[in-house]
Amino acid sequence: MPRLTPIDIVKVLALLAVILASGSRVGIGFTQPQSAQHSEHQQALEKEQPESQLPRGFVTVQTPDIPKLAHTIEKGVKVFHLIAEPVKREFLPGRVIDVWGYNGSVPGPTIEVVEGDRVRVVFHNNLPEPTTVHWHGLEVPIEMDGVPAISQPMVLPGQTFSYEFTLHQNGTFFYHAHMAMQEMMGLIGFFIIHPRVSYHPRVDKDFGLILQEWAVLPNNTIPNTMAMEFNLLTINGKAGPATTPLVVRLGERVRIRFLNLSMDHHPMHLHGHQFYVTGTEAGRIPNALWFPENTVLVGVAQARAVEFVAKYPGDWMLHCHLPHHMMNQMVSMVGPIAQAGHGLKTGMGMEEGMGLAAQEQQVSNLVGQSESPRPQHHEAESEATQKRVPGFPQDMWMPMDDAVAKPETYGMAEGWSGAIQGMSTVVRVLRPEMYKKVRSLMAAGQSLPRESR
Ligand SMILES: [Cu+2]
């Protein structure tokens, strides 16, 4: 049992005080009729979200860069078809990675359902090896738990297995292969269950972001699933600046659901706004127990929902705060593995895999190392001066606005993409006119070239 520090004890006492003071407020949060909160503004928002198959009155979850999984209804059962298969995914412009996913997507398509639904997922295995699907956090019968041998036979390549269960929970859940290395190849997706009666207060925008990390060596396209160091960090299968910004109208209430299936915990930090942590991977947190943060630690296999009112206009960064997770394709800038033709092979041990520690011994970025290749990203005329500073070089600045332009990036400051690297994206809190403009571009699927802005 963990030892309580004085700070812990103070926190517990504070929480108890809040609970006692709030009385029955905890329960009211769950029983607020949705019609009471259902404004015209809300209805207008729902019209903007045509992909939803949800009943009227629900705000659909947007999972940028990940499609929704469609369903049919057969005798009252929502039927989904889920296919595990190899996928090529462009993490960054021109950087196509060989990963494993579902229905052509990594992460897999989002399953969005409602508490009380009867759900059947007809699962087909198009992978070259056996697999199963586990429904993480769902309270389902043991035969549906998706653990090889223990709860079901392996689904062999080419085989199909039907999962069927009734949902009595609500919140942010997920599905994944229950084979460790397959998880590292990308086999995960959202399984979001809306409550039958809306949470209170209702949100205007609801987003879902899946956090993953990959070790893909230079000159390779296949992740090294044995690695413990990672050089591509993704949100919904895209590395910044290729991540799609979250577009919000000034004044809206926003929920962001984070989900982490990787080898590290990710402290996700939002600029400019405090938020409340309102949910975990086990569902809703009672209102009286919400606590404010601006950086939420999303541990491995955990989900965290946060909510805030978008009070301050601007393009606000949302990113993992681990410094190495705010970079792309990190390799030594001075070591031999950065050189063309020197990529290291996957499937070897740690040292040969990412190999940074061993390789770094051969060269360093200290002053006087004449064998170091010249840094190519700084002006030559200042190089002599720069090199006298111990530690130089550190950061590269490589904006690529045009390569990642999309409707959601319209009107962002020139060079913005240089700041959005790795596990990073942007929450765009837009004033009404700009919001309308961006939404119309999104609806038309149209990116405007910079000249016409
Ligand atoms: Cu991180």
Cis peptide before 218 (omega within 30 of 0): no
Identify whether the C-beta of residue 441 lies closer than 8 Å to the C-beta of residue 448: yes
Instruction: Report CA(264)–ligand 1 centroid distance (Å).
Output: 7
Distance from Cα 166 to the centre of ligand 1, integer Å: 34
Beta strands in 28-94 (DSSP E): 72-74, 77-92
Distance 55 CA to ligand 1 centre (A): 36
Tokens of 368: 């006087």
pLDDT score at 18: 38
296 C-alpha to center of ligand 1: Å?
Answer: 11
Calculate how far, in angstroms, residue 47's C-alpha sits from the geometric centre of ligand 1: 35
Distance 386 CA to ligand 1 centre (A): 30
Phi and psi at residue 9, to the nearest 5°: -65, -40
Q: If you measure from the C-alpha of residue 423 to the centroid of ligand 1, how many angstroms do you get, rounded to a whole number?
A: 7
Distance 239 CA to ligand 1 centre (A): 12
Assess contact for 178 and 148: CB atoms under 8 A: yes
**From the CA of 355, how far away is ligand 1's center (Å)?**
20
Amino acid 329: pLDDT: 76
Distance CA 72, CA 78 (A): 6
CA of 397 to the centre of ligand 1 (A): 20
Distance 178 CA to ligand 1 centre (A): 23
Distance 87 CA to ligand 1 centre (A): 24
pLDDT at 381: 54
- Cβ–Cβ under 8 Å, residues 336 and 359: yes
The C-alpha atoms of residue 324 and residue 51 are separated, in whole angstroms, by 35
Q: Read off the DSSP letter of residue 302.
A: -
Ligand 1 centroid to Cα of residue 211, in Å, is 8
Q: Are 193 and 111 spatial neighbours (Cβ–Cβ below 8 Å)?
A: no
Do 397 and 418 meet the contact criterion of CB atoms below 8 Å apart?
A: yes
From the CA of 192, how far away is ligand 1's center (Å)? 23
pLDDT value of residue 229? 85
CA of 267 to the centre of ligand 1 (A): 6
Ligand 1 centre from 289 Cα, in Å? Answer: 26
Distance 325 CA to ligand 1 centre (A): 5
Quote the ligand 1 centre to 322 CA distance (angstroms): 5
Q: How far apart are CA 423 and CA 433, in angstroms?
A: 29
Contacts of the segment 434-442: beta carbons below 8 A, 24+ positions apart: 435/247, 435/248, 435/249, 435/250, 437/410, 437/411, 438/247, 438/407, 438/408, 438/410, 438/411, 439/48, 439/247, 441/407, 441/410, 442/247, 442/407, 442/408
Separation of 160 CA from ligand 1 center, angstroms? 35
pLDDT at 447: 72
Count Cα neighbours of 219 within 13 Å in the Cβ-side half-sphere: 10
Q: 109 by DSSP, 3-state: which?
A: strand
Q: Which two tokens stand for residue 114?
A: 């409602």
Ligand 1 centroid from CA 240, angstroms: 13
Cα 33 to middle of ligand 1, angstroms: 38
Ligand 1 centre distance from Cα of residue 235 (Å):
10
pLDDT at 360: 44
In 3-state terms, what secondary structure has residue 131? strand
The residue among 316, 290, 204, 298 whose CA lies nearest residue 258 is 298
For residue 265, report the distance from its CA to the centre of ligand 1, in Å.
6
Span from the CA of 3 to the centroid of ligand 1 (angstroms): 27
Q: Give 261 Cα–ligand 1 centroid separation in angstroms.
A: 11
Q: How far is the CA of 9 from the centre of ligand 1 (A)?
A: 29
Q: Are 315 and 271 in contact (CB under 8 A)?
A: no
Instruction: Write the CA distances from 210 to 14, 115, 423, integer angstroms.
Output: 32, 22, 10
User: 126: CA distance to ligand 1 center in Å?
Assistant: 31
Q: Using 70 as the pLDDT threshold, list the residues of the chain that sit under it.
A: 1-53, 330-381, 448-453
403 CA distance to ligand 1 centroid (A)?
Answer: 24
* Span from the CA of 209 to the centroid of ligand 1 (angstroms): 13
pLDDT at site 325: 92
Distances from the Cα of 284 to the Cα of 119, 194, 262, 279, angstroms:
21, 10, 23, 4
d(CA 420, CA 344) in angstroms, rounded, equals: 27
